[in-house]
Structure 1
């Protein structure tokens, strides 16, 4: 291993807070940059087709990046085992390093991407959208959330990785481990929720919604590592696959909107 990941375990909470802060800063910077560059379609000098093409190209770049990260992690599962040893060393170290109060907090946080939460929120948002007459958006929302569930289940069966031992009784998880369904599910669920809400709220509320979605998705993924129901690489793979699927869904919805407007 190029470095001893287990040595980082005593500072796990500090590392989590630092990475979260950097992630939120990067999201804010990216949002500001997009707002500076992205001109509304009715004010752009580009043709509608070229305007749409540039947006699709940006989305495609995110999809390719997410797929590449996932493929790299999946490939390392079957190589020399270095990633597996690093995963196990980190999980073993976290067993004794994290205070009980922090584990209790993350045990509550991880419930935000449990299956009952995902299904309940999916039904609720879909019902509200249908009630408001946004049936196409409701369909896109349901397909995004449900499709990610099918995708993650399929990937788990393909790789069939056994979960780490988690015997503290805080959270119990069954089935295979790679990739993390909570990680990909939180990215898609809260990312799509932010996208849907941004269609209805004033512009000043849009960035806070996106930041909240990023913070929730990242924190849920980290909770799976801290609670030792997933290895770190499972969570990274879940983030990658969830981000790729989220962008696929948003791009598809935007393309459908453009086609219907034409």
Structure 2
């Protein structure tokens, strides 16, 4: 082991020994913070968008916002990959990732691994595809056509963005001895993690737009719990390194921010049109 990496690896081993307790505490803190945040913000509902013939120009603005954000995220990731290849300290993070995975494998009870093995499927592509179709149809039937289009583009965009990022970084998956079938494809960033961030984050946004204020805190806590549990399950199950999951959270959050900002911009312009005359 390189001397410069020793402190980082030691910290990773210590974290791995207490990973389950750290996860539980972090999850409770994050849920409490999200619920409290919603309670304190007292955010007003955005005005509902009527579905009419004027949706076409609004949808064009929405698509433009998505396209620009998508290109920026992919371009930035490519630049980071090029820079990362020139930084020798990248090897240190690889050693720390492996040390954390090994320590978690030795200290995580089998019952916890089985639970994570079930919960991780909430981020499966098929699960998110079924959820995406159901929510899109429901929004369309409620005549929330702009939100329906935004929801579909958000999920579809992440489904395209994550494989592209994997091709940029080309990181192999962790090796483990859990007796499960190895997962094909590259590891960085985690697709389950970014998919959960986008899908359940967008559900939170839709809930804030459409549900009464009294439901916002509960939905925020549920969304945070789902995203963090799915993300951490990938590390506990050793199908991803911790840095893969961190990158998945960041890429998913970036795309989620683009989606929400684009929808807000399109909604504002749509509702402001009648007052422009």
> Shorter-chain TM-score: which interval?
0.7 to 0.9
Q: Find out whether 1:90 has 2:97 as its counterpart.
A: no
Q: Which residue of 2 aligns with 1:25?
A: 32
Distance 1:9 1:156 in 2: 25
Per the TM alignment, residue 230 of structure 1 is displaced from its structure 2 partner at its CA by 0.3
Q: Find out whether 1:195 has 2:205 as its counterpart.
A: yes
Which structure is higher in RCO with an 8 Å CA cutoff and minimum separation 6? 2
Q: Which residue of 2 aligns with 1:49?
A: none
What pairs up with 1:163-174 in 2 under 5 angstroms? 163-170=173-180, 172-174=182-184
Per the TM alignment, residue 94 of structure 1 is displaced from its structure 2 partner at its CA by 1.8
Q: Which residue of 2 aligns with 1:249?
A: 259
Q: Which residue of 2 aligns with 1:240?
A: 250
In structure 2, relative to structure 1, the CA distance for the partners of 1:41 and 1:16 (3 Å cut) is closer
In the alignment of these two chains, the number of paired residues is 236
Distance 1:93 1:138 in 2: 44
Q: Which residue of 2 aligns with 1:52?
A: none
Per the TM alignment, residue 211 of structure 1 is displaced from its structure 2 partner at its CA by 1.0
Secondary structure (helix, strand or coil) at the match of 1:176 reads coil
Per-residue displacement from partner, 1:34-63 (whole Å, max 9, x unpaired)?
33xx67899xxxxxxxxxxxxxxxxxxxx9
Secondary structure (helix, strand or coil) at the match of 1:199 reads helix
In structure 2, relative to structure 1, the CA distance for the partners of 1:253 and 1:157 (3 Å cut) is same
Distance 1:39 1:168 in 2: 48
Distance 1:212 1:90 in 2: 27
In structure 2, relative to structure 1, the CA distance for the partners of 1:98 and 1:212 (3 Å cut) is same
What pairs up with 1:148-159 in 2 under 5 angstroms? 148-159=158-169
Per the TM alignment, residue 31 of structure 1 is displaced from its structure 2 partner at its CA by 2.8
In structure 2, relative to structure 1, the CA distance for the partners of 1:217 and 1:170 (3 Å cut) is farther
Normalising by the residue count of structure 2, what TM-score does the alignment of the two structures yield? 0.78
Q: List structure 1 runs of 4+ shifted beyond 4 angstroms.
A: 38-42, 69-78
Q: Which residue of 2 aligns with 1:102?
A: 112
Q: Which residue, 128, 131, 134 being the options, matches 1:121?
A: 131
Per the TM alignment, residue 71 of structure 1 is displaced from its structure 2 partner at its CA by 9.1
Per the TM alignment, residue 91 of structure 1 is displaced from its structure 2 partner at its CA by 1.1
Long gaps (5+) in structure 1: 43-62
* Contact 2:190–2:240 under 8 Å retained in 1: yes
Specify the structure having the higher radius of gyration (Cα).
2
Secondary structure (helix, strand or coil) at the match of 2:18 reads helix
Per the TM alignment, residue 29 of structure 1 is displaced from its structure 2 partner at its CA by 3.9
Per the TM alignment, residue 166 of structure 1 is displaced from its structure 2 partner at its CA by 3.2
Q: Which residue of 2 aligns with 1:143?
A: 153
Q: Which residue of 1 aligns with 2:195?
A: 185
Normalising by the residue count of structure 1, what TM-score does the alignment of the two structures yield? 0.82
What pairs up with 1:213-232 in 2 under 5 angstroms? 213-232=223-242
